[in-house]
Amino acid sequence: MKDRFNEGIRIEDARGTLREACSPLGADVDFNNYSILPGFTDVHVHLREPGFSYKGTIMAGTRAAAAGGFTHVLSMPNLDPVPDSLEHLRVQTEIIERDACISVHPLGSLTRGEKGLEVSEIEALAPYVAGFSDDGVGVMDDGLMKEAMERVKAAGSIVIAHCEDTRFPRESHEAEYRQLARDLDLAARTGCPFHMCHVSTAESIRLIREAKRAGLDVTVETAPHYLTLSNENLEDDGRFKMNPPIKTRRDRQVLLEALQDGTIDMIATDHAPHSAEEKAKGFAGSAYGIVGLETAFPVLYTKLVREGVLPLQRLVELLTTAPNQRFRIESRMPEETDPAPTFSVWDLEHPYRIRPEHFLSKGWSTPFEGWEVYGKCMMTVAGGKVVYKR
């Protein structure tokens, strides 16, 4: 089965295995003419709980992930309490154990309260988190970031950086790439593994390319909206407002080229639900953030694979293989004798329209509303359990 995965696996090749895995749970599915893909991994998800359950919850967020074919997510730490200590992390992990239907890997915060004033309890947290981030804000103090990197490196973990220099307008290219340049310099000096969140500019791609050529331990993600939209597509609507903002057509083209040549290592959604009220104030007045778990694969499959930008194998690598390797997540396609398979089942042949009112996420704000796409998730199985069935 693994040898035949290069273009996706036809369900006929694994029908017996899948029926055996699903029948105990009453998931009697007609697998004919569908395709099996791995369960995807999203390394950038805001589940909003604890602290902001009016925006989203771990239960709703993981159900939305399962509906999008995801079986692993990394949970960002901009929560209340911020997971800057074991005590605060435990508040989140108790909810995960109770309510999550897929695997959730929490991140610890780089600084206490994500305030950029004091480094978090890195050494205590490191065995229990997938890495460290102050996502949502950039760490402005150079000395503090250097200390954080040194301690993360010593703890055997990784820094996941939201690169935003607040001395520049958020919409500018400089806000992203100038802090990235600072962080790459610190990563080179400390030897700390470094991962950049949601790259959106051509200048940042140039810096990442140079860092990789120099041998730095660096990876980078981008998101579906940066690959399929430019600022020419923006409307006066909160569903087009995210951080970092969407950039120019040239930036989008550079990102696509970086996907093709391997400079960009993975795609993540930056799924960030808000209440309807927070996203109903036009572009200027709405909160930053959109949802993406339930639209990621359909949008990418339609706009990249079907239009010849990437082969399906490469898209799956970006959504599964690369994130799993970087963040040490074990996930595999089902074997004939696997007692607990993990996979997703897709109808790749029939188009449909994206309708947010059908989302399982508490937040519905997406720039892809109304798009006609291919790639309908029919079922997701995680560890032998059916976690989603259309």
Give the residue among 242, 235, 248, 298 at the shortest CA–CA distance from 271.
242
Q: How many CB atoms lie within 10 A of CB 237?
A: 16
Distance CA 330, CA 204 (A): 30
Torsion of CA 334, 59, 224, 323, to 10 degrees: -50
Distance CA 59, CA 273 (A): 13
Q: Which residues are catalytic?
A: 270
Give the residue among 188, 182, 130 at the shortest CA–CA distance from 159.
130
Query: Scanning the structure block, which residue is given the tokens 């959109």?
Result: 290
* DSSP track, 201-213: -HHHHHHHHHHHH
Give the residue among 192, 241, 237, 242 at the shortest CA–CA distance from 222.
242
Report how far apart, in Å, the C-alpha atoms of 29 and of each of 22, 217, 363 are. Answer: 8, 43, 29
